[in-house]
Amino acid sequence: MSKFEFPPSIKSRPVYGTLEARPGKAHLMIADAAGAEAILDIATPELMARSHIIYIPRGATHGEALRGLTPAQYYEGPSYAASVTRIQRVLQDAHMGLQVYLTGTEGLMGQAQNEAMQAGIPHTAIQTEHRGSVARRMQCVHCKGITEDVETDPFVCSHCGLNLFVRDHYSRRLAAYQGVCIDAEDPGNVPQAKGIYE
């Protein structure tokens, strides 16, 4: 399961590239699930000798292959929430020229990119490559709650229970897409749910 060709969309929607090794004294690689495949694709012994890999498996089995690359540092966390303090610490201790690579799901990349930007790294200097699930991290514009891993449109907000339309509008600050009530003017008139990219 790896690469997905996202259809054209509005300007706020993120565009992902393909990771490539860049020169630098230090490299921070953050991945979840199938994102490990992108790291495996660019790994060389020289690059790994200067790399800190933070990996969140989310049920995938790539951890052993990543450890086998013998990176300078390796951390495997059970979730993004459990790993975020490590990410923040690595960014806090970073020196000029740190190369940042983010790969995997949109939710992981958006949240990790937000942390890197708060540490002073411009989003244009951060490499991203989507791999794996196309589920979205959504914010309800009504209650402001975040629902992770949304795969259908419309979906029910996990916080307030409203039926939400999945929009392509993306907030880099929140690392989430925006969802708006689909039946506000005609309560109960909710179309059949379908996959976001169907």
pLDDT in tens, the chain (198 residues): 467 888 888 888 899 999 999 999 999 999 999 999 999 999 999 999 999 999 999 999 999 999 999 999 999 999 999 999 999 999 999 999 999 999 999 999 999 999 999 999 988 889 999 999 999 999 999 999 999 999 999 999 999 999 999 999 999 999 999 999 999 999 999 999 999 988
The answer to the question of residue 9 being in a domain is no
My answer on whether 147 and 82 are in the same domain is no
Q: N- to C-terminal Cα distance for the chain? A: 17
- At 2 the pLDDT is 63
Euclidean distance between CA atoms 96 and 192, whole angstroms: 50
Helices 106-118 and 80-92 cross at an angle (nearest 10°) of: 30
Using the 3D structure, point to which of 130, 156, 187 is the last residue of a domain. Answer: 130
The answer to the question of residue 50 being in a domain is yes
My answer on whether 142 and 55 are in the same domain is no
- Determine how many CB atoms are found less than 10 A away from the CB of residue 114: 17
Q: Which domain holds residue 152?
A: 136-195
Q: How many domains does the chain have?
A: 2
My answer on whether 110 and 191 are in the same domain is no
Long-range contacts of 158-163 (CB under 8 A, 24+ apart): 163/190
pTM of the model: 0.93
My answer on whether 109 and 181 are in the same domain is no
Instruction: Give backbone dihedrals phi and psi of 133, rounded to 5 degrees, phi first.
Output: -60, 145
My answer on whether 106 and 167 are in the same domain is no
Euclidean distance between CA atoms 25 and 32, whole angstroms: 24
Using the 3D structure, point to which of 101, 130, 159 is the last residue of a domain. Answer: 130
